[in-house]
Amino acid sequence: MSNLKDVIVSAQDKLAEVQASLANIQTDTIAQVAEVGGSAAGVDPTVLRFAVFVMAIFVGYYVVWSVTPALHTPLMAVTNAISSVIVVGALLATGVDIEQATGGAGWSARIFGFLALILASVNIFGGFLVTQRMLAMYKKKS
């Protein structure tokens, strides 16, 4: 019985040591991130945006490829829903009075905004229709 207590006590001691070292690592990491964040003020915004874009590509790649095949259809449905954010930008480009700011050249923004609205709507509704058809394949036939 005392042997079991000794094992438990030593495991608790090791756990406390690991927790302390993790706390130190976390503190050091936060300090390093703050230091890098403070020194990143001189980075060109284009380079920063490009870096975020590249990181988003890698994150998206690993997220999509780690999804099991059974969850691929719901993932694509959510992707179609997220792409509907384009509609908001298209509505803004179509409805904003740009002619005052550009001196009468706002018609091109409205045309491209309207085209973006149409194409994004086709993408969204078409994606949901395809998802619905794919989910219908898995239903039991009565």
Q: List, for residues 55-69, the tens digit of each pLDDT value.
A: 988 888 887 788 777
| Between residues 109 and 65, the one the model is more confident about | 65
| CB-count burial class (<10 Å; 0-12, 13-18, 19+) for 69 | exposed
- CA separation, residue 72 to residues 16, 17, 56, 112 (Å): 42, 42, 19, 32
Q: Which of 81, 73, 79 is nearest to 139 (CA)?
A: 73
Residue 43 DSSP code: S
pTM of whole model > 0.85? no
Contact 105, 99 (CB under 8 A): yes
Query: Tokens 């019985």 identify what position?
Result: 1
Mean pLDDT across the chain:
76
pLDDT at 43: 73
Lowest mean pLDDT among 38-42, 50-54, 68-72, 76-80: 38-42
